[in-house]
Structure 1
Amino acid sequence: MSKVHWAKQAESGSYLGIRTLLWFYRFGGKWLLQVVLVPVLLYFVCINQRARQASRQFLQRVHATAAEHSSFRSEPGLWQIFLHFYSFAYEALAKIDGWLGRIGPERLNTIGNITFDDIVRQQKGGVLIGSHLGNVELSRAMASRKYSTRIHVLVFTRHAVAFNKALQQTNHMVETNMVQVDTITPALAIQMREWIDNNEFIVIVGDRMSVSTPEQAIWCDFLGHPAPFAIGPWVLASVLECPVYLLFCLRQGDHYALTLQHFSDQIVLPRKQRQQALQQYVSAYAAVLQGFALLYPYQWFNFFDFWHLPEAGKDK
């Protein structure tokens, strides 16, 4: 499988195409859009070989790791790959519903060892480390309606320009507090420290390699194979000297489970044991991510070869 960096993969679908699908949704409702999506997704499954292979690889490794507890009766094939793509499209629609206010708080179940109410009451900013498992954007949309506390999201949006443009047209608040980054500059680091000092929160994903330095990775076991994880979120959290929480928003039927886990009061990276400390933190994150991936395999939205280091030239 090609080792193209995830950020260099072209976005699937033009702005016009996405707006057309939203038109179907607006005037025909969810049922009509779901019907229209079937041929569209079949087309993408057929032409996007890289994403199709990545889906197959991930689903098969979930099946092998879960063994007798697997949610699949047999080794996943084309039908399961299609359902994987369909789940991705469904959650893209849920993002729009979230910003339009169509998903109410009654459909959100909060679980985990801490709630957002708890961390807001602490009056201390922090870092929320998410992933591309589930729908973190939906949780941000719902939180923006309930809390006045600012939540800043560090994103790399160039690979999804069309969808983000369409999403922003549904609600101007989408772009508020979104910070597009390629690298963490000193100026941005100072700005983020001010956010934390003002009891605000920063969201960053921990399952995507750095855009500028993909070779800076920590290798951890993930679904039975070594996988590279970025060090950036953990280094950033150590510099900000603030509490760290893990964030997941996962669909359960017609509802969503918002999971917040207190991860650490502070990420500490001693100079002499920096690598060992990073290994410990990242391994703990990878273990939690794997646990949820086994439970919700169709909500894994990394459609690239997750187990290879992009542009490294050598498989681990």
Structure 2
Amino acid sequence: MTTAQRSHWAQKRENGSYLAIRLLLGLYRFGGKYLILLVMVPVLGYFFIKDRSARTASRQFLQQVHTFKGPLSPFQRPPGYWQSYRHFWQFAMAALAKIDAWLGRLDGKQVYYGGSVGFDTIMQHDTGAVLIGSHLGNLEVCRALVRSKYPVKINVLAHTRHAAAFNRILKDSNSAVDLQLIEVTELTPAVGVMLSDCIARGELVVIVGDRISVQAPERAIWADFLGKPAPFAIGPWVLASILQCPVYLMFCMRQDNGYNLMFEPFAGQLKLPRKDRQQALQNAVQQYAQQLEQVACRYPLQWFNFYDFWQLPAASQHKLSQQKEAPGDSST
């Protein structure tokens, strides 16, 4: 991909203005499902044509899934533009589902629990827990469904500056939407202390593990994902070890007419011993990548990372190359 296409995920600008997004969601809220579906066809077509980098990243991911799975691929033939457009469509539907979630329109009877543990198990601990999510599926829907059933505070660590208009829409839809949304670009000691207090009170801390750091993307752990090495952030795993509490993986996938909520135990307490810290981090990230891979192959059109997932941003790649070359530089 070109240097422009290999920019950092956090630098990708939000498609659509606040007023345009508000107009679309107003049509959805007051005009019903079928009206918004009719309007979304040309709107999505416009963005599909306009956003070349996202379109390219979509096809790259879907084709990688197809190649990796071989005879067991979820696609009958190599994915092309039509599958990529369907990918965009699923992203738009996920955005609408977030609005439904915070307006209380989701039916709790349409929720399935496909993981190895139920949410009741997570709530049985004396302290809180860390939930590691991803941009696969719809964590916002999961959060709303859980809060509608359990009286637990959920603190979500997120970088939302590249989606300011949509998050403002969520806030307008329900004033309580982002009360526990914590904007974090760097895990500082102060953030660690604050989250430790949350865990001690029995609250949950949610952080995604599939996107590299905003501040230092070159500080990544590389793990095998769909047959190729991909960079993953270190921060979520360091944070989980600091908080010294149970760690679970969490997915919320659209399935049939409902949602499949999956919770998987990851560690009773994640330990990163000083002597073998790098290897422990590598093991944790690879275990996460493997689980992410399995779910992504089942629901490929619900993968919402529309950038080259297997490459560092161009500037970070150059910085990393310089760091690797420096020890062996014998020039005078």
Return the match for 1:231 from 226, 230, 234. Answer: 234
Equivalent residue number for residue 246 of structure 1: 249
Distance 2:229 2:125 in 1: 37
SS at match of 2:206: strand
Report whether the alignment pairs 1:313 with 2:317. yes
Distance 2:220 2:23 in 1: 40
Distance 1:293 1:31 in 2: 28
Report whether the alignment pairs 1:30 with 2:33. yes
Which residues in structure 2 correspond to 1:114-125 (within 5 Å)? 114-125=117-128
Return the match for 2:13 from 3, 10, 20. Answer: 10
Distance 1:149 1:26 in 2: 28
Distance 2:288 2:34 in 1: 37
Q: Structure 2: where are the runs of 5+ without partners?
A: 322-332
Which residues in structure 2 correspond to 1:178-257 (within 5 Å)? 178-257=181-260
Percent identical among aligned pairs is 53
Distance 1:238 1:216 in 2: 18
Distance 1:149 1:42 in 2: 40
The Cα RMSD (Å) is 1.2
SS at match of 1:87: helix
Which residues in structure 2 correspond to 1:277-288 (within 5 Å)? 277-288=280-291
Equivalent residue number for residue 67 of structure 1: 70
1:90 is displaced (CA, Å) by 0.3
1:176 is displaced (CA, Å) by 1.4
Question: Are the aligned partners of 2:210 and 2:232 in contact in 1 as well (CA < 8 Å)?
Answer: yes
SS at match of 2:264: strand
Q: Any idea what the Cα deviations from partners look like across 1:114-135, whole Å, max 9, x if unmatched?
A: 1111111223211000000000
1:35 is displaced (CA, Å) by 1.0
1:104 is displaced (CA, Å) by 1.5
Aligned residues: 316
Q: Any idea what the Cα deviations from partners look like across 1:145-164, whole Å, max 9, x if unmatched?
A: 22111110001010000000
Return the match for 1:149 from 149, 152, 163. Answer: 152
Equivalent residue number for residue 292 of structure 1: 295
Equivalent residue number for residue 87 of structure 2: 84
Distance 2:234 2:101 in 1: 31
1:127 partner amino acid = V
Distance 2:190 2:273 in 1: 24
Report whether the alignment pairs 1:261 with 2:303. no
Q: Any idea what the Cα deviations from partners look like across 1:82-132, whole Å, max 9, x if unmatched?
A: 000000000100011011111121011112121111111223211000000
1:32 partner amino acid = L
Equivalent residue number for residue 276 of structure 1: 279
Q: 115-124 or 236-245, which moves further after superposition? A: 115-124
Q: 140-149 or 208-217, which moves further after superposition? A: 140-149
Which residues in structure 2 correspond to 1:33-72 (within 5 Å)? 33-72=36-75
1:31 is displaced (CA, Å) by 1.0
Distance 1:159 1:123 in 2: 36
Equivalent residue number for residue 330 of structure 2: none
Distance 1:39 1:180 in 2: 33
Distance 1:259 1:173 in 2: 25
Q: Any idea what the Cα deviations from partners look like across 1:215-249, whole Å, max 9, x if unmatched?
A: 11110111111100001000001111111000000
Q: 281-290 or 171-180, which moves further after superposition? A: 171-180
Question: Are the aligned partners of 1:218 and 1:230 in contact in 2 as well (CA < 8 Å)?
Answer: yes
Distance 1:33 1:167 in 2: 17
Equivalent residue number for residue 112 of structure 1: 115
Q: TM-score of the superposition, structure 1-length normalised?
A: 0.98
Question: Are the aligned partners of 1:99 and 1:142 in contact in 2 as well (CA < 8 Å)?
Answer: no
Distance 1:132 1:166 in 2: 19
Question: Are the aligned partners of 1:204 and 1:233 in contact in 2 as well (CA < 8 Å)?
Answer: yes
Q: TM-score of the superposition, structure 2-length normalised?
A: 0.93
Distance 1:36 1:167 in 2: 20
Q: Structure 1: where are the runs of 5+ without partners?
A: none
Distance 1:181 1:122 in 2: 26
Equivalent residue number for residue 131 of structure 1: 134
Q: Any idea what the Cα deviations from partners look like across 1:257-302, whole Å, max 9, x if unmatched?
A: 0000110011111111111101100000000000000000000000
1:186 partner amino acid = P
4+ runs of 1 displaced by more than 4 Å?
none
Distance 1:6 1:247 in 2: 22
